[in-house]
């Protein structure tokens, strides 16, 4: 059904109330759709995703599906550094033994399920783009999905991961302990994941 441009512009949408360095990097994005985070190992990707999940849980219910690290000490330390220990247990959940796509759908259909969903990572989950679009993005249009991706040895994304990238309204490349954000909502400033190391990375470039 076609609508007028005036209706399009004036339609009410829920925007995330980012502030500080977050709004400088992201602008004020919508609370629905999909985002895509990628980067090489040991560049601060998990540090960034845990910081982001913790921050977003201050105003949305968040679930983090840990396909890649499970209940490891490593991911526990990352969340502790991000300050997640002090967040409301109701607002931020970590699924240490994520199930299949069908099981994930059952979880998300529950009343009071999370509004923001982190999938770490799409490769370890075994999710391809077509199935994910049909079962998650199309099925839950009022949720925000944050997909985390590994990169190949050459530093490139697989063809399937590239489809996730193109679909995303916010694209985040983590390198040198900084998050470089391409957002359709403004922002554009690099987000320092680990400020001291990020400053050294910028200096050495």
Bridge-partner residues for 179, per DSSP?
A: 174, 191
Q: Please write the tens of the pLDDT for every residue from 74-113.
A: 999 999 999 998 887 789 999 999 999 999 999 999 999 9
Computed over every residue of the chain, the mean pLDDT equals: 93
* The pLDDT value given to residue 168: 97
One DSSP character per residue, the chain reads: ----HHHHHH----B----HHHHHHH-S-BSSEEEEEE--TTSSHHHHHHHHHHHHTTTS-EEEEETTTTT-HHHHHHHHHTTGGGS-TTTEEEESS---HHHHHHHHHSTT--SEEEEE-HHHHT--HHHHIIIIITT-TTSEEEEEE---TTSPPPHHHHHHHHH-SEEEEEETTEEEEEETTS--PPEESSHHHHHHHHHH-
| Domains of the chain: total | 1
* Relative orientation angle of helices 45-56 and 73-81, to the nearest 10 degrees: 60
pLDDT of residue 203 exceeding 70: no
pLDDT in tens, 165-189: 999 999 999 999 999 999 999 999 9
In a domain, 14, yes or no: no
pLDDT at 20 > cutoff 80: yes
**Residue 189's CATH number:** 3.40.50.300
What the block records as the tokens of 130 is 């077509």
Region 4-25: mean pLDDT is: 93
The mean pLDDT of 64-68, rounded to a whole number, is: 97
Is residue 194 in some structural domain?
A: yes
Predicted confidence band of residue 205 (pLDDT cuts 50, 70, 90):
low
Position 198 confidence tier, pLDDT thresholds 50, 70, 90: confident
98 within some domain = yes
pLDDT for 37-48, tens place per residue? 999 988 999 999
104 in any annotated domain: yes
pLDDT in tens, 114-161: 999 999 999 999 999 999 999 999 999 999 999 999 998 777 899 999
pLDDT of residue 21: 96
pLDDT mean over 185-202: 83
Q: Has residue 17 been placed in a domain?
A: no
34, 149 Cβ separation under 8 angstroms:
no
**Which residues span the domain enclosing 112?**
28-204
């Amino acid at each position: 059904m076609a609508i007028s441009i005036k209706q399009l512009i004036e339609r009410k949408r829920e925007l995330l109330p980012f502030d500080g360095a977050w709004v400088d990097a992201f602008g004020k994005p919508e609370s629905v759709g999909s985002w895509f985070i990628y980067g090489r190992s040991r560049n601060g990707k998990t540090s960034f995703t845990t910081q982001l999940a913790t921050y977003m849980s201050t105003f949305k219910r968040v679930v983090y599906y840990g396909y890649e690290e499970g209940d490891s000490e490593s991911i526990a330390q990352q969340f502790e550094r991000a300050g997640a220990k002090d967040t409301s247990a109701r607002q931020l959940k970590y699924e240490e033994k994520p199930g299949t796509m069908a099981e994930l759908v059952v979880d998300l259909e529950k009343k009071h399920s999370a509004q923001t969903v982190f999938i770490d990572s799409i490769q370890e989950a075994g999710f391809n783009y077509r199935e994910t679009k049909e079962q998650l993005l199309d099925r839950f249009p009022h949720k925000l999905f944050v997909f985390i991706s590994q990169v190949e040895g050459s530093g490139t994304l697989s063809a399937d991961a590239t489809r996730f990238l193109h679909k995303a309204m916010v694209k985040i490349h983590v390198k040198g302990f900084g998050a470089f954000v391409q957002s359709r909502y403004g922002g554009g400033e690099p987000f320092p994941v680990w400020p001291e190391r990020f400053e050294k990375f910028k200096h050495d470039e």
